[in-house]
């Protein structure tokens, strides 16, 4: 790896290596570029990250001087070029030097190939491009960094086929080096052979409107996948957002600062082999097996609406060779929520950490499993709540509460209801302190907010029936009163997450 890239990777990894200190370190004022859109940030954001670790100024700057740029015009199965740095040989357009290249037109089986120097930065401006073909439409074989800019007002589309001749480039847009997508135009990408857009290093998206379909993954990066100020509609047979590195366990990181993201995935909605960090944005996972997965999952802000057929949010170490049994925590694994609004509808575990789980702020609503083989809340290490508003409902067989390290009280009780049932929690004076309308049937309720006081008794009302429960700083083993009973602790046993 080039020295400049090594330096950038170190800068990127500093906050990731210190995720256990995220809540303290991220209290600093964010040094965001003026192009960042505050409107796409959730008003619930509790902490801010120094985004210079994830985006350079040039990543966020889609400007270019058209008069100095090389023009490439696509037509049928070839192209013409006027300017320096680009050559045309049949259906291959080779970009060999640093500079700006404006591409327009329509082609079939034309490939844009970047073969520049290790220190060269190449900007490719798509200005009304339609590229279809058997193999990848754009390939970056060598460069320091390539910027794919969507010209203002432009509509662009790139697609490959299911029958690649060159299987080394297994995406419609493929890069061996760092790749940034920016601008204010639109881009539709269909990866019919493998991934839609893939980078062997970092993949950053800092603007634009995208409709992306991947036969495998929609967006894939080996080292880091960072997103802000973009609108993404993603469909994938595997993962929609995929950051995974098999060689370096410190890489394979996902960061979302802002933007609007809609996901339909047959596997994970968002996947990071190392750290998944979300500071903001509006994210809706309409379909997934697991909506959000990472070794460390940290949510500081944003609005997340996550639907899954398995776990909603899963913190686990896929690279670990340790054979952990039920209830045995995996070192270095954590799920942390400090802000934002998080809604989870999961058939498997709702919030699942194979290590520690901490909620210190924001709003968290979980409609968990209806079967007793999974739990709406499931952790193997320490589970605590120190702030925020939480309503977690699901089956009773594996229901868990929060542990003794909590500083905010919660209630946990066996209470049954149906989809559409309103859950109302009132204090001794009859004042409602929490309420929620269930999305599906449930047998257990875990709730917490700053309005719940340790040691006080509360009434939980569902469909005209009521149960009392005493609020406690530790509800790990249940704390229901008459009719509430222990809701059960632990997370092992048959069907438990391992």
Kindly state whether residue 50 falls inside one of the protein's structural domains: no
pLDDT tens-place string over residues 321-361: 555 555 689 999 999 999 999 999 999 999 999 999 999 99
Q: pLDDT category, 111, cuts 50, 70, 90?
A: very high
Nearest 5°: the CA angle 79, 127, 61 is 125
Rounded to an integer, what distance in angstroms lies between the CA atom of residue 449 and that of residue 436?
13
Kindly state whether residue 95 falls inside one of the protein's structural domains: no
Q: Residue 182, SS3?
A: strand
Kindly state whether residue 351 falls inside one of the protein's structural domains: yes
pLDDT tens-place string over residues 418-467: 999 999 999 999 999 999 999 999 999 999 999 999 999 999 999 999 99
Nearest 5°: the CA angle 383, 389, 391 is 75
pLDDT at residue 50, as a whole number: 83
Nearest 5°: the CA angle 352, 285, 59 is 105
pLDDT at residue 42, as a whole number: 34
pLDDT at residue 38, as a whole number: 29
Residue 245's contacts (CB-CB under 8 Å, 6 or more residues apart) are: 222, 223, 251, 252, 273, 274
28 versus 305: which is more confidently predicted?
A: 305
pLDDT at residue 474, as a whole number: 92
Q: Which of 215, 231, 210, 225 is nearest to 256 (CA)?
A: 225
pLDDT at 17 over 90: no
Kindly state whether residue 394 falls inside one of the protein's structural domains: yes
Domain of 369 in residue numbering reads as: 310-498
pLDDT tens-place string over residues 164-194: 999 999 999 999 999 999 999 999 999 999 9
pLDDT at residue 377, as a whole number: 98
Residue 19's contacts (CB-CB under 8 Å, 6 or more residues apart) are: 275, 277, 296, 298, 334, 336
Comparing 117-121, 324-328, 366-370, 463-467, the range with the smallest average pLDDT is 324-328
pLDDT at residue 29, as a whole number: 34
Number of folded domains in the chain?
Answer: 1
Backbone CA torsion sign across 410, 416, 419, 421 = negative
pLDDT at 491 over 50: no
Residue 429's contacts (CB-CB under 8 Å, 6 or more residues apart) are: none
pLDDT tens-place string over residues 34-58: 333 323 333 344 456 888 889 999 9
Report the DSSP beta bridge partners of residue 56: none
Rounded to an integer, what distance in angstroms lies between the CA atom of residue 411 and that of residue 260?
34
pLDDT tens-place string over residues 199-231: 999 999 999 999 999 999 999 999 999 999 999
Kindly state whether residue 192 falls inside one of the protein's structural domains: no
Kindly state whether residue 125 falls inside one of the protein's structural domains: no
Kindly state whether residue 337 falls inside one of the protein's structural domains: yes
pLDDT tens-place string over residues 263-310: 999 999 999 999 999 999 999 999 999 999 999 999 999 999 999 999
Kindly state whether residue 323 falls inside one of the protein's structural domains: yes
């Amino acid at each position: 790896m080039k020295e400049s890239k090594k330096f950038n990777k170190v800068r990127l990894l500093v906050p990731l290596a210190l995720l256990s200190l995220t809540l303290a370190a991220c209290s600093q004022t964010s040094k965001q570029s003026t192009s960042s859109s505050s409107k796409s940030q959730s008003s619930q954001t509790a902490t801010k990250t120094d985004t210079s670790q994830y985006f350079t100024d040039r990543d966020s700057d889609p400007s270019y001087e058209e008069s100095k740029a090389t023009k490439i015009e696509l037509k049928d199965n070839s192209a013409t070029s006027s300017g320096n740095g680009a050559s045309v040989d049949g259906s291959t357009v080779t970009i060999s030097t640093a500079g700006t290249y404006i591409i327009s037109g329509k082609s079939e089986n034309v490939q844009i190939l970047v073969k520049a120097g290790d220190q060269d930065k190449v900007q490719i401006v798509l200005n009304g491009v339609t590229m279809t073909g058997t193999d990848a439409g754009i390939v970056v074989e060598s460069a320091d960094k390539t910027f794919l800019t969507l010209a203002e007002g432009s509509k662009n589309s790139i697609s490959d086929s299911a029958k690649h001749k060159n299987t080394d480039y297994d995406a419609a847009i493929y890069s061996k080096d760092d790749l940034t997508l920016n601008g204010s135009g639109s881009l539709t990408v269909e990866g019919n052979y493998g991934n839609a857009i893939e980078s062997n290093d970092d993949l950053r998206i800092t603007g634009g409107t995208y409709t992306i379909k991947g036969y495998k993954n929609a967006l894939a990066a080996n080292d880091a996948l960072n997103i802000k100020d973009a609108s993404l509609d993603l469909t994938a047979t595997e993962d929609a957002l995929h950051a995974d590195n098999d060689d370096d366990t410190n890489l394979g990181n996902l960061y979302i600062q802002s933007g609007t993201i809609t996901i339909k995935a047959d596997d994970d909605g968002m996947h990071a082999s190392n750290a998944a960090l979300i500071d903001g944005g509006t994210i809706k996972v309409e379909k997934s097996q697991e909506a959000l997965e990472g070794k460390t999952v940290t949510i500081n802000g944003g609005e997340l609406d996550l639907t899954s057929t398995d776990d909603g949010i899963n913190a686990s170490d896929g690279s670990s060779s340790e054979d952990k049994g039920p209830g045995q925590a995996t070192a270095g694994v954590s799920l942390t929520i400090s802000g934002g609004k998080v809604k989870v509808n999961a058939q498997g575990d709702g919030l699942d950490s194979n290590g520690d789980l901490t909620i210190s702020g924001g709003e968290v609503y979980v409609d968990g499993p209806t079967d007793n083989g999974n739990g709406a809340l499931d952790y193997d290490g320490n589970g605590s709540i120190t702030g925020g508003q939480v309503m977690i409902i699901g089956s009773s067989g594996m229901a868990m509460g929060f542990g003794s390290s909590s500083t905010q009280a919660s209630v946990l009780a066996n209470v049954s209801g149906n989809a559409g049932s309103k859950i109302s929690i009132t204090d001794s004076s009859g004042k409602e302190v929490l309420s929620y309308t269930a999305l599906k049937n449930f047998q257990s309720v875990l709730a917490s907010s700053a309005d719940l006081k340790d040691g006080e008794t509360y009434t939980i009302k569902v469909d005209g029936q009521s149960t009392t429960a005493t609020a406690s700083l530790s509800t790990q083993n249940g704390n229901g009163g008459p009719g509430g009973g222990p809701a059960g602790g632990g997370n092992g046993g048959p069907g438990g997450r391992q």
